[in-house]
């Protein structure tokens, strides 16, 4: 009898917890509007309260809780001694809405399955590849990736690593966990961050609502600063101003910025993820832009980290064609209409008042015979000026790019 009573009590408790954590939020906008504000029908507070900053050991097990919504100040050593410092994100279901041009005009996020919704690709069970089973959570590195001991880490107090190729970062991320389920920031994880960002702030202009030194003046080493600056924040989101006294020459940086009217924010974080834009460009794995001469200018993507590759032929064979018309220009353009992953599409018709972030750079034209698949970089870095922002994309380089301002971010999805 006691066992039955315990089971009934647990069932009631689980149902109550599910009800308390439920959400159904529609985010929508008009692509003809002249500002980046979006509308929401409800808030997603129940979801945001479930996100935690945790430590994962080499087996992918949670061994420490650094911060929560109610206790957002980081507690405990974030130097790796308590595991990889990761944001834990519960699963969600999504439905997209498009206009006649194929531009996204709305999306709805919810906690439970429903007709017309699918489990977001971040949470799929990749053996089934249909989102019918999936996983309950994914983990995103709280800090930009740092290479040490043949692994990609998410720890504070170090300068994040650059000057590696996408495949090198990919191999380092795999080696971080004993089950080899580590990977670097990918197309659908980046989309997850953006879906949550716009639903949280109700605005696509990330640089304004969450500043983070994306338009610096003349300080060329700003992307070589130690990470972990945002650990002292008293909320899950926010930004840190430059120091006014001694310490990494922040005072010099701040002075130049203040005279330019740009403010003094030196780092930001969103839901415990530091520098979702700014600091360094981040490689996006699991996607590539195809700009070959005579070929369709589209995006090739895949949600399964086990399929990620930098071999052009394998991308074309194994990745999924998003069947979109990617902006084809060797120039910068304002971002207006977007498709899945918030990829800018052709015929934008946008201007400086209506955008996801200030600029998008694509080199998918036939100029210079750049007939290979492009790597995709996201977020911008501190010397990018207005080219940085949450939606910033750079599709100029080959998959073999290695540059000091191009970094990575560790992610983990237990299969």
Q: Who's near 32: CB < 8 A, 6+ residues apart? A: none
pLDDT tens by residue, 76-89: 999 999 999 999 99
Q: CA nearest 390: which of 258, 298, 272, 268? A: 268
Q: What are phi and psi of 358, to 5 degrees?
A: -65, -50
For residue 261, the model assigns a pLDDT of 46
Percent of the chain at pLDDT > 70 equals: 76
Annotated domain spans of the chain: 22-200, 206-274, 288-404
Query: Which pTM does this prediction carry?
Result: 0.90
- Neighbour count for residue 226 (Cβ, 10 Å): 13
pLDDT tens by residue, 325-361: 777 665 566 677 788 998 887 555 556 666 676 556 6
Q: CA nearest 184: which of 269, 281, 279, 267? A: 281
Which of the residue ranges 16-25, 185-194, 295-304 would you say has the lowest mean pLDDT? Answer: 16-25
For residue 220, the model assigns a pLDDT of 47
Mean pLDDT of the chain: 83
Beta strands in 99-225 (DSSP E): 104-110, 118-119, 137-141, 146-148, 151-153, 182-184
Three-state SS letters, 319-335: CEECCCCECCCEEEECC
Helices (H), 87-235: 166-176, 187-201, 206-209
pLDDT tens by residue, 136-174: 999 999 999 999 999 999 999 999 999 999 999 999 999
Nearest-angstrom CA–CA distance, 277 and 267: 9
H-run or E-run covering 102: none
For residue 181, the model assigns a pLDDT of 94
SS3 content of the chain, % helix, strand, coil (to 5): 25, 25, 50
H-run or E-run covering 88: strand 84-90
Q: Is the pLDDT of residue 215 over 70?
A: no
For residue 332, the model assigns a pLDDT of 62
Nearest-angstrom CA–CA distance, 280 and 278: 6
Q: Is the pLDDT of residue 98 over 90?
A: yes
For residue 139, the model assigns a pLDDT of 98
Mean pLDDT of 4-25: 60
């Amino acid at each position: 009898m006691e066992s039955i009573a315990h089971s009934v009590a647990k069932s009631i408790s689980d149902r109550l917890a599910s009800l308390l954590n439920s959400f159904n939020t529609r985010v929508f906008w008009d692509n003809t509007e002249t500002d980046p504000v979006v509308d929401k029908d409800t808030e997603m507070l129940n979801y945001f309260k479930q996100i935690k900053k945790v430590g994962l050991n080499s087996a992918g097990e949670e061994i420490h809780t650094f911060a929560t919504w109610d206790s957002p100040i980081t507690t405990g050593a974030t130097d790796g001694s308590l595991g990889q410092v990761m944001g834990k994100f519960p699963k969600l279901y999504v439905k997209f809405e498009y206009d006649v041009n194929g531009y996204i005009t709305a999306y709805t996020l919810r906690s439970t399955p429903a007709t017309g919704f699918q489990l977001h690709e971040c949470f799929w069970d990749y053996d089934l590849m249909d989102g019918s089973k999936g996983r309950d959570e994914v983990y995103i590195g709280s800090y930009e990736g740092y290479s040490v001991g043949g692994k990609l880490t998410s720890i504070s107090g170090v300068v994040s690593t650059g000057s590696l190729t996408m495949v090198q970062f990919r191999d380092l991320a795999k080696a971080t966990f004993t089950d080899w389920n580590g990977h670097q920031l990918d197309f659908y994880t980046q989309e997850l961050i953006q879906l949550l960002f716009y639903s949280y702030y109700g605005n696509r202009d990330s640089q304004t609502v969450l500043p983070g030194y994306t338009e610096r003046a003349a300080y060329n080493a700003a992307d070589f600063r130690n990470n972990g600056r945002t650990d002292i924040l008293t909320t899950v989101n926010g930004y840190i101003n430059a120091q006014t006294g001694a310490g990494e020459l922040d005072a010099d940086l701040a002075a130049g910025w203040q005279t330019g009217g740009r403010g003094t924010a030196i780092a930001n974080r969103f839901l415990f993820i530091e520098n979702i834009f700014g600091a360094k460009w981040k490689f996006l794995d699991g996607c590539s832009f195809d700009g070959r001469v005579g070929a369709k200018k589209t995006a090739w993507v895949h949600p399964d980290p086990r399929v990620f590759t930098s071999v052009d032929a394998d991308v074309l064979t194994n990745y999924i064609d998003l069947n979109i018309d990617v902006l084809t220009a060797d120039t910068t353009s304002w971002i207006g209409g977007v498709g899945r992953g918030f990829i800018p599409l052709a015929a934008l018709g946008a201007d400086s008042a209506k955008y996801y972030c200030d600029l998008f750079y694509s080199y998918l034209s036939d100029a210079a015979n750049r007939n290979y698949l492009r790597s995709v970089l996201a977020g911008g870095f501190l010397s990018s000026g207005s080219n940085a922002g949450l939606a910033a994309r750079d599709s100029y380089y080959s998959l073999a790019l290695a540059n000091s301002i191009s970094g990575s971010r560790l992610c983990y999805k237990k299969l």
